[in-house]
C-alpha cells in the first residue's frame, strides 16, 4: 500500500480491494484501491472525515463508510456516527444521514439491500440504513455487546463472530430479518478472537 494502516476498513469494489482510513502515524482519511491484475495500489479521493475502527461496504456501484473514531490512541477516542458515500462518477465523498449512535469498532454488512451497522465499543445495538429513504432504523439488539467483531451474510442471515466486551469472545450470533431476532449459535470457536476477519464463500 502507499500508506501503512492499522485498524483500517476494507471491501471489494469491482474486482479490486479497497482499503480506507486507519492509523498510520496519524488518523487517515486516504483511500486506496488494489488491482490484482497489474499488482498496483492507486489512491482515490480521500474521505471527508479521518477514521479508524470504522466500516466500509460496497453497494450498487458506490462505496459507503460509517462510524469509527477520529481520535488517536493517545487522545480522544470519539465515536463517530457519520456516514459518507463515494460515487466514482462524481469522484468525491459526500455525507449521508448519520447513524443514531456513534460506533467505533463496529461491523458493517449489506443485507437485503440495506446496510447494517452492528455493535461497536460497549454496544450490542444494531441499526440498518435504507438507501431509498436515506434513513437509519434500529433493529433488535444482539445478545452480547461486541467491539471488534467480524460479520458476513450467509444463507439469508447475518453472522457476527467474536469481538470483545471486557474479554475476547468465541461466540457467534445470527440475525434473521424475517423474525427480527438474534440467536447465539451452539458451536463456539476454539479460540476467542477480536479484530479478526471473515469471508463468505
pLDDT for residue 174: 98
Count: domains in the chain: 2
pLDDT for residue 72: 73
Q: Which of 66, 82, 104 is the last residue of a domain?
A: 104
Contacts of 74 (CB under 8 A, 6+ apart): none
Residues spanned by the domain of 180: 105-201
12-21, 64-73, 125-134: least confidently modelled range: 64-73
pLDDT band at 200; cut points 50, 70, 90? confident
156 class by beta-carbon count within 10 Å (0-12 exposed, 13-18 middle, 19+ buried)? exposed
Q: Which of 104, 123, 158 is the last residue of a domain?
A: 104
pLDDT for residue 76: 60
Question: Is residue 158 located within the same domain as residue 198?
Answer: yes
**pLDDT tens-digit map of 12-58:** 999 999 999 999 989 999 999 999 999 999 999 999 999 999 999 99
Question: Is residue 91 located within the same domain as residue 111?
Answer: no
SS3 content of the chain, % helix, strand, coil (to 5): 0, 45, 55
What distance in Å separates the CA atoms of residue 163 and residue 147, rounded to the nearest whole number? 5
Question: Is residue 12 located within the same domain as residue 82?
Answer: yes
Enter the pTM of the model: 0.94
CA 181 vs. chain centroid, Å, equals: 21
Amino acid at each position: 500500500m502507499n500508506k501503512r494502516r492499522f485498524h483500517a476498513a476494507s471491501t471489494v469494489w469491482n474486482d479490486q480491494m479497497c482499503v480506507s482510513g486507519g492509523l498510520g502515524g496519524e488518523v487517515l482519511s486516504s483511500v486506496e484501491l488494489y488491482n490484482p491484475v497489474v499488482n498496483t495500489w492507486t489512491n482515490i479521493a480521500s474521505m471527508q472525515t479521518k477514521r479508524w475502527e470504522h466500516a466500509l461496504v460496497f453497494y450498487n456501484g458506490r462505496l459507503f463508510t460509517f462510524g469509527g473514531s477520529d481520535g488517536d490512541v493517545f487522545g480522544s477516542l470519539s465515536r463517530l456516527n457519520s456516514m459518507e458515500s463515494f460515487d466514482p462518477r462524481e469522484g468525491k465523498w459526500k455525507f449521508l444521514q448519520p447513524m443514531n449512535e456513534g460506533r467505533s469498532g463496529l461491523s458493517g454488512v449489506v443485507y437485503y439491500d440495506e446496510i447494517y451497522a452492528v455493535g461497536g465499543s460497549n454496544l450490542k445495538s444494531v441499526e440498518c440504513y435504507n438507501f431509498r429513504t436515506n434513513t437509519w432504523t434500529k433493529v433488535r439488539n444482539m445478545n452480547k455487546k461486541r467491539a471488534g467483531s467480524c460479520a458476513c451474510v450467509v444463507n439469508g442471515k447475518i453472522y457476527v463472530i467474536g469481538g470483545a466486551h471486557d474479554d475476547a469472545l468465541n461466540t457467534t450470533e445470527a440475525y434473521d430479518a424475517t423474525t427480527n431476532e438474534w440467536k447465539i449459535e451452539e458451536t463456539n470457536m476454539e479460540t476467542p478472537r477480536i479484530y479478526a476477519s471473515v469471508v463468505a464463500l
